[in-house]
Amino acid sequence: MTPLVRSVRSADTLTRDALAVLQPGFTGTTAPDWLLRRLGEGLVSVGLFGRNVADPAQLAALTGRLRAEREELIVAIDEEGGDVTRLEVRGGSSFPGNHALGAVDDTELTRAVARELGRRLADCGINLNWAPSADVNSNPANPVIGVRSFGADPQLVARHTAAYVEGLQSAGVAACTKHFPGHGDTAVDSHHDLPRIAADLPTLQERELVPFRAAVAAGTRAVMSAHILLPALDAEHPATLSPAALHGLLRAPEAEGGLGFDGLIVTDGMEMQAISASYGIERGSVLALAAGADAICVGGGLADEGIVLRLRDALVRAVREGELPEQRLADAAARVRALAGRARSTGAGEGAAPAPGIGLTAARRALRVTAAGPYRPLAEPVHVAAFTPLANIAVGDETPWGVAAELARLLPGTETTTCTGEAAAVAGTAALVDGLLTAAADRRLVAVVRDVHRHPWMADALHTLLAARPDTAVIEMGVPQAPPRGALHLATHGAARVCAQAAAEALTGRRPSADE
């Protein structure tokens, strides 16, 4: 009878470990029964997305319900501030993103912004943030990083990554620095395909890895892997599935050229096409664990009980068939549980005094104004031309952007026309701009663009509009890579709501009465 008892106990431990390494999502603003049941069976982490958030009170109630089922629990969220927000997914963020903070280049400001963001997360019961992005945005054509990066200079990115980690964790929220070993030099979005970085190892050491070394030195509790292929490191496997990247580089001692990181390694979303299209989610998760990952992030797209059971069973099966060492799974589960226990003992909002206006302060400081000549501030309702690119999946299309709403607060009656690449392709640039001019009539125009350097249709339309109405003000809410154009050019370094507010204030010379 003893072998039977030992076997049952081993099977139960294996299943609990397999559940422990998963960071799944779910739908809705209340905890589903299946999720609560799995927490009782060994699940240690839950990932939240915009679809789970209505307001702070609801979110606090949700996380409280989850912790009533399991007290030592990791509740994670993808809250970068700026363009990528889940707390304020339907209204726009109260915090500028990394690119704005990098433009100011004041590490104390970055630390303060991250601390206040962490305080708000902690107040809602969240103790792991899949942020900051430590990617060096060295490729201007990058379709997925852009303003999510502090900038293109490795040393600037490093000092702000460290400050962000310190600020966030001072509020009791663990940082998860991403996307290791660096997603900045890509022209492909890993949500859709597998990016390839051709940089050699010396370049990686001198550019991509510099901010991650700073994050490790600053004590980041977690690091998120990237679904990118770096042939100089591993010609076959993307970093998330690569022992050379995770075990051999991230974990290796500094004396051996590694980063010496001993915290939690989290994968980027496993349903992203860079992994799922080539390996499948189950196979990819097994390979990620075997390569050195500790936690499998899934749930951005697949968010039901079925995916949790599929991955749990795939991991158990891989151990039983000898493909995944049992000790590797046990070590990964132990790291997850250790972070859950540490997060509980740290406490929500520790050491973080409220600083409700810090985000707007940072956005105002990040604004860069270029004038072609004297510019008369806007005093009457205007017409906003919003040149809108297709949103990448990380940002999502739920979060509003642009300046129309903020201008309308200051100049009631302001109207807007949205222009897309698809409309330009169908109607032609000339017809698109003619329609704008007709809609604007005699009102002054404000053109809003986002990464105009990456979108030829947008650049053409803006050129045609400025030729017809040279008095147009232009607001760039992406990376200001293109030369300034317009009677007045504003670079906000991001599309957060506070960035729009700062731009509207600059255009009008006015602030809302509450700020005056």
Q: Which two tokens stand for residue 432?
A: 């698109």
The per-residue pLDDT for 184 is 80
Q: What Rg value do the Cα atoms of the chain yield, rounded?
A: 24
Sign of the four-CA dihedral 485, 487, 493, 495: negative
Which residues of the chain register pLDDT less than 50? 1-9, 347, 516
Phi, psi of 294 (to 5 degrees): -110, -25
Residue 338 to residue 388: CA distance in whole angstroms: 44
Contact call for residues 256 and 266 (beta carbons, < 8 A): no
Number of H helices, E strands in the chain: 19, 14
Candidates 17, 78, 268, 451; catalytic one: 268
262 is catalytic: no
How does pLDDT run across 372-390, given as a tens digit for each residue?
A: 889 999 999 999 999 998 7
Q: How many CB atoms lie within 10 A of CB 428?
A: 12
Contact call for residues 471 and 498 (beta carbons, < 8 A): no
463 is catalytic: no
Residue 209 to residue 64: CA distance in whole angstroms: 37
Stated pTM of the model: 0.93
Counting beta carbons within 10 angstroms of the beta carbon of residue 28, is it exposed (0 to 12), middle (13 to 18) or buried (19 or more)? exposed
Residues recorded for the chain: 516
Residue 491 to residue 513: CA distance in whole angstroms: 24
Candidates 191, 237, 383, 493; catalytic one: 191
How does pLDDT run across 152-191, given as a tens digit for each residue?
A: 999 999 999 999 999 999 999 999 999 999 888 776 555 5
Q: Which residue has the tokens 């991230």?
A: 250
The per-residue pLDDT for 188 is 58
Pairing outcome for strands 22-23 and 296-297? parallel
The per-residue pLDDT for 351 is 57
Residue 233 CB contacts under 8 Å (≥ 6 apart), including other chains: 181, 201, 204, 239, 242, 244, 245, 249
* Nearest Cα residue to 367 out of 512, 494, 508, 487: 494
* Nearest Cα residue to 173 out of 96, 115, 94, 97: 115
Contact call for residues 226 and 183 (beta carbons, < 8 A): yes
Sign of the four-CA dihedral 121, 122, 127, 128: positive
Pairing outcome for strands 174-180 and 128-129? parallel
The per-residue pLDDT for 513 is 58
